[in-house]
Amino acid sequence: MNTAVLSVRDLVVEIPTRNGVLRPVDQVSYDIAPGEILGVVGESGAGKSMTGNAVIGLLDPPARITGGEIHVSGQRIDNLPREALRRLRGRKIGMIFQDPLTSLNPLLTVGEQLTETIREHLDVSESEALNRAVAALDEVGIPAARQRIGSYPFEFSGGMRQRVVIALALCAEPELVIADEPTTALDVSVQAQIVALLKRLCRDRGVAVMLVTHDMGVIAEAADRVAVMYAGRLAEIGPVRDVVSHPTHPYTAGLMASTPLASLGHNRLRQIPGAMPRLEALPDGCAFHPRCAYAEDTCRAEPGPSIETCGGRAACWFPLSHDEQEGAA
């Protein structure tokens, strides 16, 4: 897997607290190839944002990486000193946050924010930087980019602001973009615009994208592969079609079945009993076992082993076969 832009191996993030050490991310491994969109889904507290923040080095202390390796285009980055990591951020890795208003500086025009980022990372003159800034805004579909470059963030609508954030993430031509819930704060019609934009940029530029979201619909439409997280661990990873239509891990199957779908009509939704355990009180063995219909003693004693599925991996002792799903559905 030398070609992968991002390669995460056995990543562990720990938070020391008075009552012991919490592990919001535990033994997570995955790769993203150039031009690929990897969707990361899970419910709140599953560790999906924490994984993204760990990759870009934005973990809030006392959370820290205590195990594993992160490579970006072959270079190991998790043990870099702060200054080197700061230069890497923006240059090699771009970040798109959920709330476009809080991730832009309200006191600077979008042009100033873009040229600052470009000149920080690329060796270009001021006028060249300005030209690139206009081109970047143009590319993300902001009309009359040259006039709008002197506007402040509050003068843009929510969807336009998110476009500015995307332009900002892409202006130094990074190889990897981490998008953390980029459409959650937006309306459906604007969300469709932003998802289409992300897909186009990813295809045109060959950027690898890690798309963190809780919306299965967005994942199904945008992602090539999907990773499902539960209580800090990777429950399942694989091509999006297989994971959504033929989930192997009982948690993935439950997640898909609880999403309201057109065909179900007024029938009852399938629900997963209980709720995700808190990090302070993770059950032994497979963290999903108290909610799992297939759990046996092995599950209570040891976490699920990594098994091969069609095109992916799942961490489960008793993975679902396709016949069982037909029966359950």
Residues found near another protein in the complex (CB under 8 A): 43-44, 157, 159-160, 187-193, 195-197, 199, 214-218, 220-221, 240-241, 244, 254-256, 258-262, 264-266, 268-272, 275-276
Q: Which residue in 254, 252, 258, 257 sits closest to 240, CA to CA?
A: 252
- Let me know: does 315 contact 298? Beta carbons within 8 Å: no
Using the minimum distance from each CB to another protein, give the nearer residue, 67 or 217.
217
**Minimum CB separation from another protein for residue 171, in Å?**
22
**Minimum CB separation from another protein for residue 306, in Å?**
24
**Minimum CB separation from another protein for residue 68, in Å?**
27
Using the minimum distance from each CB to another protein, give the nearer residue, 261 or 293.
261
Residue matched to tokens 């799992």: 292
Helix-helix angle 158-170:126-139, to 10 degrees = 130
Q: How far apart are CA 19 and CA 278, in angstroms?
A: 13
**Minimum CB separation from another protein for residue 183, in Å?**
9
* 102, 124, 152, 162 from 109: Cα distances, Å: 14, 20, 4, 15
Using the minimum distance from each CB to another protein, give the nearer residue, 129 or 255.
255
User: What residues does 17 pair with on adjacent strands?
Assistant: 20
CB-count exposure of residue 17 (10 Å: 0-12, 13-18, 19+):
exposed
Q: Which two tokens stand for residue 77?
A: 């980055």
Using the minimum distance from each CB to another protein, give the nearer residue, 84 or 261.
261
Q: Which residue in 19, 22, 8, 17 sits closest to 54, CA to CA?
A: 8
**Minimum CB separation from another protein for residue 44, in Å?**
6
**Minimum CB separation from another protein for residue 272, in Å?**
4
Using the minimum distance from each CB to another protein, give the nearer residue, 255 or 287.
255
Using the minimum distance from each CB to another protein, give the nearer residue, 135 or 264.
264
